[in-house]
């Protein structure tokens, strides 16, 4: 079961966002070529990303 966590902060010209997504192991194929009759699974993994934005004015933003 996937898990998703997000944090968002916006006040004035500053905008911050952080998100973490996690995916558990899942089935890729029911039969692998190297070891016949065995299913092939993907490993579980997580992904973290974030954004920082600062508004100079209403037409221009700086971001990382």
pLDDT per position as a tens digit, 8-60: 999 999 999 999 999 888 888 887 777 677 888 888 889 999 999 999 998 99
What pLDDT is attached to residue 1? Answer: 67
Cα 8–chain centre separation: 14
Q: Is the pTM of this model over 0.75?
A: no
Between 6 and 41, whose confidence is greater?
A: 6
Q: Where are the domains of the chain?
A: 3-63
Residue 26, CA distances (Å) to 8, 11, 19, 43, 59 in order: 29, 40, 22, 7, 44
What pLDDT is attached to residue 56? Answer: 93
């Amino acid at each position: 079961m996937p898990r998703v966590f997000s944090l968002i902060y916006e006040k004035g010209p500053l905008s911050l966002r952080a998100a973490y997504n996690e995916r558990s192991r899942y089935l890729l194929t029911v039969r692998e070529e190297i070891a016949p009759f065995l299913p092939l699974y993907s490993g579980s993994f997580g992904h973290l990303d974030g954004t920082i934005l600062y508004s100079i004015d209403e037409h221009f933003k700086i971001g990382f």
